[in-house]
Structure 1
Amino acid sequence: MKLRLEVGNSRITASVIDSGTARDFLSLLPLQLRMGDLHRREKCAHLPRPLSESGTLTKNYEVGDLAYRLPEGDIAVFYRHDGQTVPTGLITIAKANSHLKALSAEGPVDVTIDLAK
C-alpha cells in the first residue's frame, strides 16, 4: 500500500510498513497538516489523536521515513539526516524515496496525506 503526500505542487509517494501503528495511522486519512520544522531534518505535526504503539520502536531513522514520534504523538517526515538519533523513539509508518526537496523549505509547510490512487 502506498501513501501520497502533497506539499505545494510536489507529490511524494511512500510505501507503508505493515504494523498496528501504520494501520491506525491509515484510519486517520485523509489528513491536512501544517508541519513545522524540527532540527532542520524533519517536518512534524500533531495528530488528531494518539496512535497504537504496536509497531517496532527505534531511535534511528533514514531520510524519507514517515514516523510516529514518541512520546509526543506527532507524525514526522525526515528529509535530511544529521547523524543523530531520536532519543525518545520512533515507529516508522512508511518510507519515501524521492521528491523530498519540498519538505526542506524553511519554516512550516502545509501537507496533505492520503492513500495513493
Structure 2
Amino acid sequence: MRLRITIGDEHFQATLDESAASRDLAALLPLTVRMSDHGGVEKTGRLPSPLSLDGQPAGADPAVGDVGYYAPGNDLVLYYGDQSYYDGIVVLGRLRDDAAERIAAMDGSITVQLQR
C-alpha cells in the first residue's frame, strides 16, 4: 500500500508492507501525528492506538528510510539516520526517493499528515 506523507509544504511517498501492523496503521488513516527528533536518527510520534504485533519478530534493525513502529511507546517512526537493532521495533515499510534526507533536514518537532 502507498502512503502519502505531508509535512508543511513538502510531500513524500512511502510503501507499506503486508503485515498486520501496517494494516492497522492503514485503518487509522487519515491521521495527523506530532513528531519530534529522537537520538538524531529518527522522528517519533505517538499513535492514537496500538498496532498489532502478530507475526512480528521481537525487534528489528531498521535502515535509513524505513517507516517503523516502536511498540513499547506506541510511536510511529520515520528513520532518517542509522538505528541499530532494538527490541520492540517493527518495520512497516519504506520511504521513497530522497524522503529520508529531506526529513533529516527538518529541525525540531514536525506535524505529519498521513493519507492513502
Give the corresponding residue for 1:53.
53
Q: Deviations over 1:36-80 (max 9, x none)?
A: 110011001001011111143333001111111021111101011
TM-score of the superposition, structure 1-length normalised?
A: 0.87
Distance 2:55 2:37 in 1: 24
Give the corresponding residue for 2:96.
97
Q: What count of residue pairs does the alignment treat as equivalent?
A: 113
Secondary structure of 1:101's partner? Answer: helix
- Could you list the runs of 5+ residues in structure 2 that have no partner in the other structure? none
Task: Indicate the structure with greater helix content.
Answer: 2
> What is the letter of the counterpart of residue 79 of structure 2?
F
Residue 4 (str. 1) matches residue 4 (str. 2): yes
Give the corresponding residue for 1:19.
19
Give runs of ≥4 in structure 1 deviating > 2 Å. 55-59, 86-89, 97-102
Give the corresponding residue for 1:41.
41
- Single out whichever of 87-96 and 27-36 deviates more from structure 2: 87-96
Q: Deviations over 1:70-117 (max 9, x none)?
A: 211111010111xx42423311112113223342212101110111xx
The alignment yields a C-alpha RMSD, in angstroms, of: 1.4
Secondary structure of 1:27's partner? Answer: helix
